[in-house]
Amino acid sequence: EGAGTMEESAMRRVIQKSDFAKMEIIGQFNLGFIITKLKNDLFIIDQHATDEKYNFERLQRVTKIHSQVLFKPMPVRVSPAHFLTILDHLPIFQANGFDFCGPAIDELKNGVEVQMEDEDPTSDRKSRLFLKKIPYSKNTTFGIDDIVQLCTLLADAGSGYDESGSSSAKEQGIKHLMGLRIPKLRAMFASRACRSSIMIGTGLMKAKMRKLVRNMGTMDQPWNCPHGRPTMRHLFDLTPLEKMHEASDARM
């Protein structure tokens, strides 16, 4: 993961997402990679990884998570910090297939400030928050542990969110938070995206290569596939070669 973060940081310094529309398609290499040129720089793009990331983000954006209603609402046993995180981010939990009920939810709906003093949300006797819906999947079981994981993701994402920034930055921050998915759902989307994406070993026409590269400019995070593999790398700076040619032409 650390290597992936370093690679993403390096790519951000070299190009912006808007540059993908300006890239010239040179051709395909080894039936798995697209060679592109931007100004004097050559890049190599993994055709499977970039298509997988495009499909992954599309699935996360358009797929509605189906929920199942619990026969009996389950007390939510979490820390006070996580308790407040849930109340502050209900739409994000609902987007992940969870829904809640209980006195704390009633207070929110009635515009009453939720009081935490002298309350222990981890206690069955005093529980004020209950889980009434969970995500539904034939092969995956969801529960309180997934709620805690989402609370942690929200805390980590919130620590890097600057509320005093520009309106566009705030909009991007909100979009990022709404796009957060618990690891189990993320793994499901990654698996579906992988199976539906262009595989290594597939020959591509230039029009298809161009479409894959253009798609990268529309992604939220085009730099790595869902599994962390870089989608592209910088190959070569052609500037020294051009200077050599210019010097050679001058001598002639």
Question: Which pLDDT score, from 0 to 100, does residue 118 have?
Answer: 44
Question: Which pLDDT score, from 0 to 100, does residue 47 have?
Answer: 98
CB environment 156-183: b (16+ within 10 A), e (fewer): eeeeeeeeeeeeeeeeebeeebeebbbe
Q: What is the pLDDT of residues 25-82, one digit of tens each?
A: 999 999 999 999 998 899 999 999 999 999 999 999 888 899 999 999 999 988 889 9
Q: What is the pLDDT of residues 153-173, one digit of tens each?
A: 999 887 555 555 566 666 776
pTM here is 0.78
C-alpha 92/C-alpha 99 separation (Å) is 10
Residue 178 phi, psi dihedral angles, 5° rounding = -65, -20
Q: What is the pLDDT of residues 103-159, one digit of tens each?
A: 989 888 888 777 654 445 555 556 789 999 999 988 888 999 999 999 999 998 875
Question: Which pLDDT score, from 0 to 100, does residue 247 have?
Answer: 63
**In the chain, what percentage of residues exceed pLDDT 90?**
58
Q: Please, are residues 135 and 67 in contact by the beta-carbon 8 Å criterion?
A: yes
